[in-house]
A and B are shown apart, each in its own frame.
Chain A
Amino acid sequence: MAKTILDFEKPIFELEQKLEEMRKFSDRLDIEKDMVRLEEKVRQLKEEVYKGLTRWQRVQLARHPERPYTLDYIYAMTESFVELHGDRLFRDDKAIVGGLAQLGNHKVVIMGQQKGRDTKSNLYRNFGMMNPEGYRKALRLMKLAEKFNKPVITMLDTPGAFPGIEAEERGQAEAIARNLFEMARLKVPIIVVIIGEGASGGALGIGVGDRILMLENCWYSVISPESCSSILWRSWDYKEQAAEALKLTAPDLLEQGIIDRIIPEPLGGAHKDHKQMADTLKTALIEELDALIKIKPEKLVTARIEKFGKMGVFVE
């Protein structure tokens, strides 16, 4: 696959390329000092660029085609994984993957929306857009977790629930609603991680939990900036403004009390170092699991309902 370079990544990429070229000749020429200087320059530029990312740029990073996806995390983080398929009602939705896994000392049920890397795999995965059977598959796995007293980890990465005729026929709305309801009262711990795009009800449909973590360069909101632009500005051209207005980044959501914790990404984004990203996330998940498994189920459920009950701002 051709390397994808985002606009704001370009200056960094160009310097890195130059550095690469210099390395090839470094043993024949005496350019050690120049290289060190250039390396320092790259480092500074990176820090500058990634510290000052706009919300729209973060949206672009969240969608970076080289970013790790759910299965990448599962394979990198777990010692053992058995993938499970199907909702036992209609069929297996490929836009969501899940199964039993060993994560450090914890046996868990882990699942998440799965995007593809190229046209073929994206068609297979339906671009990570779930149908009702996907939400029902997720619920089946959660019920399995509850039955065998295993914590649940869900990973959110979707441009939305699939808007199609069959999806409506099979009750897309009902399937999402049912998950919100059942996740609220599931008697085992649930940790939710936003690993990419968290678009609307389609993401939230597997997003109710005790702890909500979010990787540094992700977005999560009621609508995508593009759709928001097309509806409120009546044009597709205001996505940057829409992203700003929606306040949809990890720091925004932490401030709004909607997420609990931001998971730092490698400099430049999760796609720069899949292994480092997975290691960081794994450490965080194990910390959270260690704490959550000590809480009694009834207390966990009450606290979860209250947690979501506190979300919202109004004047009386």
Chain B
Amino acid sequence: MPWFRRSKVNISPDTQKRELPDGLWEKCPSCGEIIHKKQLELNLWTCLKCDYHWRIGSKEYISFLLDKNSFKEMDRKMRSADPLEFRDTKKYSDRIAEAIKKLDLYDAVRTGTGKIEGRDVALGCMDFEFIGGSMGSVVGEKLARLIDKAYKDKLPTIIISRSGGARMMEGAYSLMQLAKVSARLTKLAEAGIPYISVLTDPTTGGTTASYAMLGDIHIAEPKALIGFAGPRVIKQTIGKDLPEGFQKSEFLLEKGFIDFISHRKDLRTNIIRVLDLLI
């Protein structure tokens, strides 16, 4: 369930920054196409040739999902308190400090309100770069407050997940975030406020086993890895190779856990259409 398990085996090449010498070009990890960064941004970080979706963060999603300058961030500086004084080969507090310094993020989710085609919404978006998008106390609390805000102001809620699961270094506290956020979502349900869950690559472990799978509507980006147990753990347990396409968005659609798959370029339009028809 935790974030780290997958990061070594299943690391997607885009996180390894295969930049060409002048830093203006990116090579598609899937088809090898060389794309100018400006062009890539215009194409919402998807490959012009093969539709590969790069792993992007909250800043990027906000830039193309919400109406311009409409995002108001909540609890931006909330950060982990390292409640267990956790230490493995490295101190957790050092991991946190380094991530904050490097990424200009304080934890693995950004939350706030904004407008989408003029309609007020609550948005939470995870950042995989921050310790594998792992969910600890901060992610749980920020999402809980986002849901409270949505409940109070009757805002349709969108959560974009990209996470390896619960954050080991907060032990049982991080496990309880699954229950905390899921419990909070019951309030939206009782009030008839729509909640859209967007699942992107990867969404695994405790994140999938809580809010990512509790949407009224589940939208996935193409070919995203979505599951509970990571592929390596399953392979180890059963001692067999996994079938082609296992735990990918298309597989989940087929098995009935995703409503539809949306290309990133259609995501905004699709959310607008769903909200229009629901509300």
Contacts and interface: CB of A to CB of B under 8 A. Distances in A.
Interface of A: 161-165, 167-174, 176-178, 180-181, 184-185, 200-201, 204-205, 207-208, 220-223, 227-228, 231-233, 238, 241-242, 245-248, 252-253, 256, 258, 304-305, 308-309, 311-316
Given A245-B84, A314-B81, A181 B168 contact: no
B156 interface: no
B176 A304 contact: no
Nearest to A229: B88
Say whether chain B's binding surface is mostly helix, strand, loop, or mixed. helix
Contacts of B176: 204, 258, 308, 311-312
Given A165-B243, A222-B206, A313-B173, A181 B186 contact: yes
Nearest to A163: B229
B262 to A, nearest CB: 19
Contacts of A238: 88
A221 B171 contact: yes
B172 A181 contact: no
Interface stretch (B72-80, B122-130, B270-278): B72-80
Interface residues of B, number: 70
B208 A173 contact: yes
Given A311-B177, A314-B81, 20 more contacts: A164-B234, A168-B229, A173-B208, A176-B210, A177-B213, A200-B1, A204-B179, A221-B175, A222-B1, A222-B171, A228-B168, A246-B84, A246-B172, A304-B183, A305-B186, A305-B187, A308-B183, A312-B140, A312-B176, A314-B78
A248 B171 contact: yes
B209 to A, nearest CB: 4
B83 interface: yes
B2 interface: yes
Chain A: interface secondary structure?
helix
B180 interface: yes
B178 interface: yes
A231 B8 CA distance: 10
Contact of A165 (B84, B141, B180, B234): B234
Name, among B174, B177, B178, the residue most crowded by chain A CB atoms within 10 Å (CB to CB). B178
A272 to B, nearest CB: 26
A177 B175 contact: no
A195 B177 CA distance: 22
A220 B172 contact: yes
Contacts of B256: 171
B1 A311 contact: no
Contacts of B87: 245
B247 interface: yes
Contacts of A247: 84, 171-172
Given A165-B242, A200-B1, A305-B183, A256 B86 contact: no
Given A163-B234, A204-B179, A177 B137 contact: no
Contact of B183 (A178, A208, A256): A208
B260 interface: no
Nearest to A170: B255
Nearest to A201: B209
Interface string B176-215: 1111101111110110000000000000011011111110
Most buried by B among A163, A172, A305: A163
B170 interface: yes
B206 to A, nearest CB: 5
A181 B257 contact: no
A137 B227 CA distance: 21
A201 B211 CA distance: 13
A168 B256 CA distance: 12
Given A221-B175, A314-B79, A315-B78, A309 B168 contact: no
Nearest to A247: B84
B4 interface: yes
B162 to A, nearest CB: 15
A312 to B, nearest CB: 3
Contacts of B88: 228, 232-233, 238, 241-242, 245
A249 to B, nearest CB: 10
Residue of A165, A170, A172, A222 most packed against chain B (CB within 10 A): A222
B42 interface: no
B167 to A, nearest CB: 8
B263 interface: no
B225 to A, nearest CB: 11
